[in-house]
């Protein structure tokens, strides 16, 4: 079983909704593994609201280095230190994730990296390179975004999810998503394509082509998201049998 908690669902500059950030938890053998998928600047408070034990989080996935997906790392790491975390933390991402983490922490809290007090480990995941971490299988594919973004597929005990980060679907990403139970995809606008982003209709078409039963739409442009209630009938008609979810912060689901 995989449990997903949508900590945040907003885009970079949303004044109401926190940055898109997903808490992934799965049973692996006799234990549970917990990953945080992206950690933008407004994501840490949402994580702390979950009131999880300081050592619960096993790893953090960073899809790309834009601030609304990554610059919450310093606050999260410093609070872990403050609450006397002891367990190693694994930070996962594309090539350069180690340098990016060290640089961002040094900018936010100069000299603090040496004081963290718990081990930080780094795992690079690149396309065509399947990695096993904590008993989970991780595979990545490059999306069409203004900054290099890697979509991620996580397989755990016969179930899988696909998380886009940002970016429009690519043939490689669609191949990776096939056979998964859930796609979590950014959908910046209902129909108009902005550079580096996809649309609601584009995400629906991708999910249908990939044969995936569930699609969660996140990272919508703030003004457009407020209009979604009036568009739901049209969206559901387009989706057909596809289960469409437009989650609010705190929404939980199991796959």
- One CATH from 3.30.420.40, 3.60.15.10, 2.170.190.11, 3.40.50.300 for 2-254: 3.60.15.10
Quick one: pLDDT at residue 55? 97
Q: What is the CA radius of gyration of the chain?
A: 17
Contacts of 195 (CB under 8 A, 6+ apart): 146
Q: With 90 as the cut, is the pLDDT of residue 225 above it? A: yes
Which 3 state secondary structure label does DSSP give 133?
strand
Quick one: pLDDT at residue 149? 98
Higher pLDDT, 95 or 30: 95
With a pLDDT cut of 90, the percent of the chain lying above it is: 91
Provide the edge-to-edge strand list for the sheet that holds 182-186. 131-133, 136-142, 150-156, 159-163, 182-186, 214-218, 243-245
pLDDT averaged over every residue in the chain = 96
> 26-65: per-residue pLDDT in tens?
999 888 999 999 999 999 999 999 999 999 999 999 999 9
**Confidence band for 193, pLDDT divided at 50, 70 and 90:** confident
With a pLDDT cut of 70, the percent of the chain lying above it is: 100
Average pLDDT over residues 135-164: 97
Q: With 90 as the cut, is the pLDDT of residue 216 above it? A: yes
**Confidence band for 101, pLDDT divided at 50, 70 and 90:** very high
DSSP string, 151-205: EEEEEETTEEEEE--SSB--HHHHHHHTT-SEEEEE--BSSPPPTT--BHHHHHH
Quick one: pLDDT at residue 147? 96
* Helix (H) or strand (E) segment spanning residue 54: none
Quick one: pLDDT at residue 195? 80
Q: What angle do CA 200, 156, 76 make, to 5 degrees?
A: 70
DSSP state of 19: B
Average pLDDT over residues 232-255: 94
Quick one: pLDDT at residue 254? 96
DSSP state of 134: T
Quick one: pLDDT at residue 186? 98
Tokens of 7: 């900590």
């Amino acid at each position: 079983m995989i449990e997903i908690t949508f900590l945040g669902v907003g885009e970079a500059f949303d004044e109401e909704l926190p940055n898109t950030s997903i808490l992934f938890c799965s049973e692996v053998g006799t234990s549970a593994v917990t990953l945080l998928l992206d950690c933008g600047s407004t994501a840490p408070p949402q994580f702390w609201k979950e009131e999880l034990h300081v050592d619960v989080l096993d790893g953090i996935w960073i899809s790309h280095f834009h601030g609304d997906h990554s610059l919450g790392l310093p606050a999260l790491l410093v609070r872990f230190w403050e609450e006397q975390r002891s367990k190693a933390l694994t930070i996962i991402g594309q090539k350069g994730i180690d340098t990016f983490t060290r640089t961002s922490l040094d900018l936010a809290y100069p000299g603090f990296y040496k004081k963290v007090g718990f081990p930080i480990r780094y795992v690079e995941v690149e396309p065509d390179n399947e990695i096993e971490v904590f008993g989970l299988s991780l595979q990545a594919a490059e999306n069409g975004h203004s900054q290099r973004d890697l979509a991620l597929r996580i397989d755990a005990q016969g179930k899988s999810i696909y998380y886009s980060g940002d970016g429009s679907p690519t043939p490689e990403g669609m191949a990776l998503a096939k056979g998964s139970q859930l796609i979590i995809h950014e959908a910046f606008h209902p129909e108009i394509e902005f550079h580096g982003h996809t649309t609601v209709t584009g995400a629906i078409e991708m999910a249908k082509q990939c044969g995936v039963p569930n699609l969660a739409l996140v990272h919508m442009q703030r003004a457009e998201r407020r209009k979604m209630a009036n568009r739901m009938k049209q969206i559901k008609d387009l989706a057909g049998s596809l289960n469409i979810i437009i989650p609010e912060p705190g929404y939980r689901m199991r796959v």
